[in-house]
Amino acid sequence: MSAPDLTPATPAPPGADAPISVVVVTFNSADAVGRSLPAIVAELRDGDELIVCDNGSADDTVARVRELAPAARVIEIAGNPGFGVACNAGAAAAANPLLLLLNPDAVVQPGFREAIVLPLAEGRGWGAWQGLLTSGDGTEVNTWGGVVHFTGISWAGGADSPIAGAPSDPGEITFASGGCLLTTRALWDELGGFSPEYFLYHEDTDLGLRMWLAGERVGLEPRALVEHEYEFDKGKSKWFHLEANRWATILRTYPGRLLLALTPALLATELALHLVALLGGWLPQKLRADVAVARALPRLLRERKAIQHGAAGAGRISARAFAELLTPDLDSGYLGRAASSGALRALLRGYWRLALVLCGRR
């Protein structure tokens, strides 16, 4: 008679009826939570919880949260360690198997709670997904999913386009926006959540790419609608974080074959971006980012090794399949002339065809 198998069974993934822990990170967000918190509180079901992590607000954000959502758990974080750190703190405090990240200026629409769990009800097998984020009182798209260019530049897919052109059916995307991201607590913990070194920007890009590396898929649920008050221009300091974290994401997540194939393009991009930064008045921020990446290189290479070969399951996707998550087209309106240049598009597409060949088979 054989001995019984005492290996613990892998827990079944949560279903559509599982409770959700909603995490909202605030920073001087008193006005924003006045619109967003009543909307999400109205959607919560029995067993759901709301966790608000405040990053040292100097206004009356915390008081407003306690007034608008008295049942919410408020975690006050000293200073402002960044969006990712605060999200991780909220996730660590979460009690439920489903984890939903929402921006403080993201106003969920009626029926959101039912719609956001449809991927579970329909058994799509996604590791993470987002709702359809809108702007302009629902007349425009804010994002239908993150897009990543092979140079690491990323943006909100469909931003500022008419809502009539938004996808009506669920589909897979490269990464889910941190403005409205649902995943399981188990997968979040397995991947380590957001990198705490990303103070702001690209933390959701990095997480989405790590999910794909770990064999998970990421999607869009367009029936879950969220109005998001987004403004791209947030000062020149934004460029420091965008550039430093763009390179951190490339170095951490791109498979070796892809990095090798992209080396000439990445070097050319750096030359072009320094010129763009000079003409745009943010060259000091770009140079600060260069120095920050150089100083962080030993850490980034250690993190790369853990991500590419670690216990989180990296390596379940080939370099070619990972590369196919990226795009050769700079087709975001935020990218100015680069987005409308036919010659540049043809050059990038030609290079990308060669890079895909060098990445090997799928």
Q: Concatenate the DSSP letters of all residues of 31-95 into one string.
A: HHHHHHHHHHHHH--TT-EEEEEEE--SSSHHHHHHHH-TTSEEEEESS---HHHHHHHHHHH--
Q: In 3D, which of 325, 326, 327, 321 has the Cα closest to residue 359?
A: 321
Per-residue pLDDT tens listing for the chain (362 residues)? 444 444 444 467 788 899 999 999 999 999 999 999 999 999 999 999 999 999 999 999 999 999 999 999 999 999 899 999 999 999 999 999 999 999 999 999 999 999 999 999 999 999 999 999 999 999 999 999 999 999 999 999 999 999 999 999 999 999 999 999 999 999 999 999 999 999 989 999 999 999 999 999 999 999 999 999 876 555 788 999 999 999 999 999 999 999 999 999 999 999 999 999 999 999 999 999 999 999 999 999 999 999 998 644 445 789 999 999 999 999 887 777 777 788 999 999 999 999 999 999 87
> Count of domains in the chain?
2
Cα–Cα distance measured from residue 254 to residue 145, given in angstroms and rounded to the nearest whole number? 19
3 state DSSP class of 215: coil
Of the candidates 228, 250, 277, which is a domain's last residue?
228
Q: Which domain holds residue 167?
A: 20-228
Of the candidates 196, 228, 260, which is a domain's last residue?
228
3 state DSSP class of 201: coil
Please check whether residues 50 and 195 belong to one and the same domain. yes
Please check whether residues 94 and 204 belong to one and the same domain. yes
Of the candidates 168, 194, 228, which is a domain's last residue?
228
Cα–Cα distance measured from residue 40 to residue 164, given in angstroms and rounded to the nearest whole number? 25
Enclosing H/E stretch for 256: helix 256-280
Provide the 8-state DSSP code for 271. Answer: H
pTM recorded for the entire structure: 0.93
Please check whether residues 72 and 199 belong to one and the same domain. yes
